[in-house]
Structure 1
Amino acid sequence: MRLEWLEDILAVAQTGSFIEAAERRFVTQSAFSRRIQQIEQHIGVELFDRTRKPVQLRPTTETQRSRIEELAEALRQLVGDLKQGAKLSANRIVIVSQHALTATMSAMIIERAQRTAPDAFFRLRSANLDECLTQLFSHQADIAVVYRLPGSSHPVRTDFVESVVIGREQLVPVLARGRVDWFLGCLSAGELPFVAYPADVFLGQAMERTVLARLRRDLRLEARVETALTFASCEMALAGVAPAWVPTSLARRPIEEGRLADLSDHLPSCDLEVIVARLLGPRSELEEQIWLELADRSGRLDGS
């Protein structure tokens, strides 16, 4: 059963006239009559009582009218969804980013991309570093946005992938302002309770190399809480559980509001680069446009 046939049947049922139904369906009366005959021949059932004025559905057809209306609406919705899906598929970009970046920079990344592709559909995924690269290499994502330690080697292979630094970030030590005296007392005693990142995730490894290894020389480090989520680390610091190292983009507002204290005068920070990466090889025009906008060095996300 075709959608146009259902709409033809309903047009007659609603108007009670083949002439008015033909006008509603934007065809001549003769063409419309032939279509109705074709429908009835295809089904093998006479649908209308033509002896009555206005024209009425036969009783067997009338009992199925609500089903015909529901089916027509469902088919219209299906057609619309298929068209929309095809449009989105042809105009879709999948961006995968590390969890911390998804939380702090995803809005800026999408806003930058929309400058050159305002009608594009963006699918944003969040994953740890290894999964970001896996999705990139397996073509599940078009572009990856990940961290890198400045001057360090990175698992993004240059023979398969091209990458560009688009911004810089810092993990800064913060704590609830009302707990700063407690923190200073811990330092005086040679102790440092802190919120840790797991050793098997990128931020945990970066913190160990750039911050914790230095502090361990002079202080007894005690991880009070461990979480892979920067949002959770920030909430722990706000609750006064222990100092936490969180991205400046995440900590800036609570610091400005006076809820968090920046402990950078007492503890080192961790510098990070934000890079975009994509596979080498053929790509769509849309992906190329978005890549050029994101990789534009004159528009770094951090304004540098």
Structure 2
Amino acid sequence: MRLHRRALLAGLSALPLASAARADAPTEGRLVEHPAMASAHVQPRDVTVWLPPGYDASDSAYPVLYMHDGQNLFDAGRAPYGAEWGVDEHVARLAANGQIRTPIVVGVGNTPLRLREYIPANLIRALPEDMRADVQAIYGGESLSDGYLRFLVEELKPLIDGAYRTRPGRDDTAIMGSSMGGLISMYALMRHPEVFGGAGCVSTHWPIRIDQLTDPADLDAWRERLTAAWTGVVRADLPPPGRHRLYFDRGDETLDAFYAEFQSRIDAAIRSSGWTPDRFRSLVFPGAEHNETSWNARLDVPLTFLLPPLPR
């Protein structure tokens, strides 16, 4: 998307100001910015709210999709790698075609502490002591994921539900991200199953690390122990099957090439816990890489799974 004219909000308690939709593409909705949003639990960060086409002309209430790495979602000019997910275009088109329930999308910007905020604390606790020490050394300290999720659940969600016309219940609240954002999305479903009804985990970064292990035997041993920890966490902490939706996918090029064995074994653990295809999906996209361009190309798939239209 090219740059929008944006409304600026002063802080956590401010109500949204009017912001203009793009004159050349009015059907794509509009963005409202909450810059440098303060928190008692994490560093300040920018939050971008996308309001769907028709929001201002109606009194309807909307489900909400929370997405991580918010600077990569709507505007390639703001994305560090110059590519975006095109979330607004995808959602507007799918909604217009009746393929999804039309959501408000909340893009939560990351910070320099992204890795520590996105690595699930329950995995860190499940790792053997030597692996835990290695991971914390690589990531620069202990996991900050519980604080990040408290920001989302205790601070951001009440603001969004108060300032916008939302459907605040669990079945109308989903969360999604890629890479490490896939991990924290899964953890959000584990940690707050009463809040989030669905999680989309795109190109989920199961290996945690892929460098500093040059010996094949060391790499195999690390993968085996880490996969055991992941499958244990999944069996112990996912909510019971039947009420939530859980989506995984991966490509098979660049960083995604490291994910196959992790994903297949984690998928088996989830299915053995009773998750069925109507609530759990794990897909492979041959030729897809680990980048925003690839995630943009397949975004319709998780969106239609997480936000299916209501039965007529």
Shared fold per TM-score greater than 0.5: no
Which one has the largest radius of gyration? 1
Per residue, is there more helix in 1 or in 2? 1
Higher-RCO chain (CA-CA 8 Å, sequence separation at least 6): 1
Task: Please report the TM-score for the alignment, with normalisation by the length of structure 1.
Answer: 0.28
